[in-house]
Amino acid sequence: MSSHRKEGTNNRTALWILLVASIISLLLLLIPFLINNYWFEENNFYYSQDNHVVAAEKKTAKSELPTLLFLNAVKRFEERTGKYPTTESDLSNGSLKFLSHLPKEHYIFGGSPLEVSADGVLYKRGVPGELTLEISFYPDVNKLAIVRGNGEVLSTYPVASGKEPLPFLKSEVSERVVEPNGGKDALGTRGLVLQDGYAIHGTDNPFSIGGRITKGCIRLFNDHIEEIYPYVALGTPFTVKKGEPAAATFAEGMPAISLSPQQLASETQPNKTFRWNH
């Protein structure tokens, strides 16, 4: 009888131990969730390279991209001419061709060289930097990024780069070209010229992407340079940066913008031979 009583006590003890262990395991799983969601207020900050808090992170929505595209072109036009564009042709026609595609549903020209409206907001004397776009190159990891003016990385792309570092750390897009040299040679299907014979362009050798094999130019897959080309206005800043880019908001790349055959044809230069450091 006593042996049966002892066996029953041992079984109950084992059950209690199992129950307590289960409760502890459940608490260990729940505590981090409770702390993250109910204890601390969420802080979404991004940091500069010197690890200082720059600003609260706010991811760009796809619906905001047409406004960024347009206002970046407006800003670059203002930097070059000292005034805002007053008509669509100021940006998309003429010899400069600041931009290929204008999202007409997102802007209104104010009829004054000092005013422009985008998404119902009137900008009189300056487009805020956070509403512009830039290009960043990360040679340490052979990546190119489209970056919003507030530091947010919108998209990243693998590239081929030069055997030697670029001779400059900052530049800007000085020319935009569709199908340089016909679009079927080593320069690929699009080109964004920087300076001194250096450019960002496509390639007829996709297997070169990822390597450090060029004479200085930055090569992308043709579909990648075609993807970013409509977003990049003439005058868009280019910067060489250390390290690697942050995770991109649009991990699959920038949303596609279709250009008509007429738009593409207007940005070819069939009578000019480009000799970039490819």
Locate 179 and state its tokens.
């199908």
> What whole-number distance in Å separates Cα of residue 209 and Cα of residue 202?
10
Number of H helices, E strands in the chain: 5, 16
Q: Please write the tens of the pLDDT for every residue from 83-103.
A: 888 888 888 876 678 998 887
Across the range 221-227, mean pLDDT stands at 97
Helix (H) / strand (E) element for 15: namely: helix 2-34
Query: Is residue 176 located within the same domain as residue 248?
Result: yes
Q: Which residue has the higher pLDDT, 9 or 245?
A: 245
Query: Is residue 222 located within the same domain as residue 253?
Result: yes
- Residues facing 176 on adjacent strands: 192
Global pTM exceeds 0.85: no
Map tokens 């001194």 to a residue.
Answer: 196
> What whole-number distance in Å separates Cα of residue 137 and Cα of residue 243?
10
| Beta strands 107-109 and 237-240, pairing class | unpaired
Query: Is residue 94 located within the same domain as residue 68?
Result: yes
Q: Which residues are part of the catalytic machinery? A: 201, 217
- Domain assignment of residue 207, given as a range: 131-266
Query: Is residue 163 located within the same domain as residue 238?
Result: yes
Does residue 278 belong to any structural domain of this protein? no
Number of structural domains in the chain: 3
Q: DSSP state, 256?
A: P
Residue 34 has pLDDT above 60, yes or no: no
Query: Is residue 118 located within the same domain as residue 135?
Result: no
Does residue 116 belong to any structural domain of this protein? yes
Query: Is residue 153 located within the same domain as residue 231?
Result: yes
In this predicted structure, what is the pLDDT of residue 95? 66
In this predicted structure, what is the pLDDT of residue 85? 86
Give the residue among 4, 3, 155 at the shortest CA–CA distance from 68.
155
Mean pLDDT for the chain overall? 84
Q: Is 149 within 8 Å of 132 (Cβ atoms)?
A: yes
Residue 180 has pLDDT above 70, yes or no: yes
Position 50 confidence tier, pLDDT thresholds 50, 70, 90 = very low
Query: Is residue 104 located within the same domain as residue 165?
Result: no
* 203 contact partners, CB below 8 Å, separation of at least 6: 160, 186, 187, 188, 209, 219, 220, 221, 222, 278
Across the range 53-82, mean pLDDT stands at 83
Across the range 233-238, mean pLDDT stands at 97
Q: Could you give the angle at the alpha carbon of 54 between the alpha carbons of 49 and 56, nearest 5°?
A: 130
